[in-house]
Amino acid sequence: VKLGPSNALYVLELYHGPTLSFKDFGARTLARLLSHFVAGEDRELTILVATSGDTGSAVADGFAGVEGIRVVLLYPENQVSAVQESQLIVTRPNVYPLRVRGRFDDCQRMVKDAFSDDALADVPLSTANSINIGRLLPQMLYYAWTQVRLDTSDLTFCVPSGNLGNLTAGMWAASTGMPCRGFIAAHNRNDFFPEFLSGSDASFRPSVQTPSNAMDVGAPSNFERLESMYTASELRERIRGSSVDDEATLARIATTAEEFDYLADPHTAVGLEAVSRLGGRLARPSGTHVILSTAHPAKFADTVRSATGRVVPVPERLGALDDMPKTFESIDARSESLTEYLRSLD
């Protein structure tokens, strides 16, 4: 979608899949790949997923009913939107949502601990988070598709970022030969990576809650992957970082609606604000900028309506959630609690 009169600013809407999130690209591809590899196995494969919002619903929808696989979702209590939680806890075959009394970082830690837990050594485990390369490889394609469609190498991708998986996929696409100028890593107040890119002595920290909750990650797991593949100087040469606070996020939702008649969700708004700061005046930025729009604004309808005064049209698939049966269980933010739960499934 082109914003403004020039050919300099675009929004790449990646949310037209079944769960209205860009995560559908990787999750559904991974589900089909894993279903092939587990065919004929004696025991079910358990997929562990930590989610701050959109990953969980995409994985749950993509893996629901897949033979030989069950999915256990961990999401932080009171830190996902009402729509996101409804999507997570809709009753699906072989999908088990767990509401964790903690932060997303706790959920991610619990999943990682499970893989090294001797008490689970006999349980076949995998993950559908972006630490699984099968999630990221499909996401490389829409970067290359965009570059071919726009037919320019004077192209900067602005990636709303949290766990850095989407950005990693973009870097891989560029490393395989896709021509572009580089990337903007657009973060909310969870700003470890922008601080790292600025040359500061950055360190992981507990996540803080923001309107762009899918990016509320204090310790991004894909940072280790980026560090292992690129030097610090290479990362700082190819990627610029920006941290956008809550007030600026909501203000950008409002100005985007007013200036371009376009409703942006909070994550996309973080990207738009980052381009405004780093790419020049938003209506006519320097070079061609593409903001990756990762979630449908209807998933954050209350936030968008509060910022703009406009009612967000609700897709039918979201409107139907209210009438669907739902189920979940709650656990403490302890790795032992997850181990006990997984043992109870056998």
CATH for 9-20+135-308?
3.40.50.1100
Give residue 114's Cα distance to chain centre: 22
Going by the DSSP 8-state scheme, the letter that residue 108 receives in this structure is H
Sheet arrangement for strand 329-332: 125-127, 45-50, 69-76, 95-101, 329-332
Furthest C-alpha separation in the chain:
60
- Helices 246-260, 266-278: axis angle to 10 degrees equals 90
pLDDT at 283: 55
- Nearest alpha carbon to residue 125 among 72, 66, 60: 72
pLDDT at 64: 93
Angle among Cα 170, 127, 14 to the nearest 5 degrees reads 35
Tens-place pLDDT, residues 227-261: 999 999 999 999 999 999 999 999 999 999 999 99
pLDDT at 318: 86
pLDDT at 174: 97
Helical (H) or strand (E) element with 329: strand 329-332
Go through the chain and tell me how many residues it has: 346
- Domain 9-20+135-308 identical in fold to domain 23-132+320-345: yes
pLDDT at 33: 93
Q: Which residues of the chain have pLDDT under 50?
A: none
Q: Cα dihedral angle (34, 133, 296, 306), rounded to 10 degrees?
A: 130
pLDDT at 284: 59
Q: If 0-12 CB within 10 Å is exposed, 13-18 middle and 19+ buried, where does residue 310 land?
A: middle
pLDDT at 164: 96
Tens-place pLDDT, residues 39-52: 888 889 999 999 88
pLDDT at 285: 61
pLDDT at 280: 64
Task: Please state the domain extents for the chain.
Answer: 9-20+135-308, 23-132+320-345
Rounded Cα distance, 42 and 283, in Å: 58
0.85 exceeded by pTM: yes
pLDDT at 82: 85
CATH for 23-132+320-345?
3.40.50.1100
pLDDT at 42: 85
Residues 6+ apart with CB under 8 A from 28: 17, 18, 58, 61, 62
Phi/psi class of residue 175: alpha, beta or left (left: φ > 0; alpha: ψ in -120 to 50)?
alpha
pLDDT at 269: 98
